[in-house]
């Protein structure tokens, strides 16, 4: 369904996700052209190119194993972003059915204020979550990039050159990259940092967009179930002739069947993604706990060694 069929309600519900997903070439209703495929390919490559940096950091970093949790977290986020990208591109047809159904729902309630009120309630919830995630992303990502830039500027302008080896500058990269930070010059660092900022933005906004989009479509279907529930209540309280009674009952059953199909579309699209995120989260929690235990053990051994030397 093209944008000319959209009204203010549809724009309110889907405009944010349409804006970001179109940028990735993943909006289910957009026409697949060479340009959209280039967009999708660029975003996919930008995410894939993060993995070699993280692999280098994990395998060749001079830091101890317990400090690699940041790299592992980056790795988990990147793999999750790639999974979301592939899930959406593989489920374009199913998602387009759901979005078109939602658009038809909004177009059909212009004169039904009670139904529109229910749908608006759930749309507001979705909008609140979407903008909460979006502005949180702006703040967190902006602060992270600013801190990285500040650390390197401080190293350039506020370090006594007589006390350090200017040929062995330890640059602080946005994405952990192992020994690469010791091997590059200032101009090379500026180029790599710019590339990594683009990669981080592509990954971060994809993670935000897919999560909020899934919630948006799901919460809309939740609202439709409430609308259907109210329609059943109204139906049982109405006095109709037998023919009208049967016809309306069949229409309600058909509506229920359609909602089940739409939920099945969502499940088929996101079930693997949700499972993957749960598994990744459990692994990260386990690694974090292991890191804490290793740090505690290291501190205990150091304290015992110090005490033994003092004796």
Predicted structure pTM score: 0.83
Q: Is residue 2 part of a domain?
A: no
Q: Is residue 311 part of a domain?
A: no
pLDDT of residue 142: 92
Q: Is residue 116 part of a domain?
A: yes
The pLDDT confidence band at residue 182, using thresholds 50, 70 and 90, is confident
Say whether pLDDT at 166 is over 60.
no
The pLDDT confidence band at residue 189, using thresholds 50, 70 and 90, is confident
The pLDDT confidence band at residue 293, using thresholds 50, 70 and 90, is confident
> What's the mean pLDDT in 260-273?
90
Tens of pLDDT, residues 25-63: 999 988 888 999 999 999 999 999 998 888 888 777 655
Q: Which is more confidently placed, 199 or 299?
A: 199
Tens of pLDDT, residues 193-247: 999 999 999 999 999 999 999 999 999 999 999 999 998 888 877 666 665 777 8
Instruction: Pull the structure tokens for residue 212.
Output: 């909020």
Q: Is residue 3 part of a domain?
A: no
Q: Is residue 270 part of a domain?
A: yes
Poorest-pLDDT segment among 43-47, 121-125, 184-188: 184-188
Q: Is residue 98 part of a domain?
A: yes
pLDDT of residue 64: 55
Share of the chain above pLDDT 90, in %: 40
Domain encompassing residue 110: 8-306
**Number of folded domains in the chain?**
1
> What's the mean pLDDT in 260-280?
90
Poorest-pLDDT segment among 136-140, 227-231, 296-300: 296-300
Q: Which is more confidently placed, 94 or 170?
A: 94
The pLDDT confidence band at residue 124, using thresholds 50, 70 and 90, is very high
pLDDT of residue 63: 58
């Amino acid at each position: 369904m093209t944008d000319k069929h959209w009204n203010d309600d549809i724009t309110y519900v889907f405009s944010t996700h349409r804006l970001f997903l179109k940028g990735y070439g993943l909006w289910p209703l957009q026409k697949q052209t060479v340009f959209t495929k280039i967009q999708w390919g660029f975003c996919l490559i930008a995410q894939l190119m993060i993995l070699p940096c993280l692999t280098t950091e994990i395998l060749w970093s001079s830091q101890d194993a317990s400090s690699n949790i940041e790299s592992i977290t980056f790795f988990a986020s990147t793999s999750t972003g790639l999974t979301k990208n592939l899930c959406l591109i593989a489920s374009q047809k199913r998602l387009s059915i759901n979005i078109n159904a939602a658009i038809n729902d909004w177009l059909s309630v212009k004169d039904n204020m009670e139904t529109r009120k229910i749908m608006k309630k759930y749309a507001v919830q979705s909008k609140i979550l979407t903008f909460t995630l979006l502005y949180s992303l702006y703040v967190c990502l902006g602060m992270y990039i600013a801190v990285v830039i500040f650390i390197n500027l401080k190293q350039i302008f506020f370090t006594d050159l007589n006390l350090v080896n200017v040929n062995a500058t330890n640059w602080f990269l946005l994405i952990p990259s192992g020994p690469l930070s010791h091997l590059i010059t200032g101009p090379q660092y500026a180029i790599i940092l710019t590339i990594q900022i683009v990669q981080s933005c592509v990954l971060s906004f994809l993670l935000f967009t897919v999560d909020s989009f899934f919630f948006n479509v799901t919460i809309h279907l939740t609202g439709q179930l409430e609308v259907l529930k109210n329609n059943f209540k109204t139906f049982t309280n109405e006095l109709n002739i037998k023919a009208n009674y049967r016809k309306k009952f069949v229409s309600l059953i058909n509506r229920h069947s359609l909602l089940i199909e739409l939920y099945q579309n969502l499940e088929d699209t996101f079930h693997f993604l949700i499972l993957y995120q749960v598994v990744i989260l459990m692994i990260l929690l386990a690694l974090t706990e292991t890191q804490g235990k290793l740090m505690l053990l290291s501190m205990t051994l150091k304290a015992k060694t110090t005490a033994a030397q003092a004796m």
